[in-house]
Amino acid sequence: MLFRHNVPLESVMPSEQEAQSIKELERILKEQGSQVKLLGANGEQIAIPKCIYQLWQQVVHAIALGQELSIVTQERELTTQQAADFLNVSRPYLIKLLKQGEIPYIQVGSHRRVNFDDLTKYKQQRDEKRKQGLKELTQFLEEEGFYDEEASELNQ
């Protein structure tokens, strides 16, 4: 269960009948060049903007796969606690990263603010470094005979 502004948001799972409609909707959304329009109760039609269409495709695809989905709005500038939560680290550790210059920030009075784009860039770089480190560790273990090649193939 998610909480947004202290209001619980319940997860919704489609019924079997809805699941069939979702699969059909997913098929339609995948068609190249299709122009999706919203039809109002009064018959008024409006074309769905491209950014909404792309987001809608992702939502429908995730639901069709049976995945639980959450939509969270994101501010452009985050508090240090929000930034720490996003990175899944402690606030003191995030502040250490800020002081070391790992992530740019601005000072607003006595408070630090982190730009969301800078935070996502840092997260992507961190994740790449982790992947590379695991790859190097696996390679070392294989060379030393501690790692089974068949297990390596299963993990790829």
Overall average pLDDT of the 40-64 stretch: 86
- Together in a domain, 53 and 86: no
| Per-residue pLDDT, 102 | 94
| Per-residue pLDDT, 30 | 80
Number of domains in the chain: 2
Which of 35, 64, 93 finishes a domain?
64
User: What digits encode the pLDDT tens for the residues 124-141?
Assistant: 999 999 999 999 998 888
Domain that holds residue 31: 2-64
Gap between the Cα atoms of 65 and 58, Å rounded: 11
Q: Would you give the distance in Å from CA 103 to the centre of its chain?
A: 19
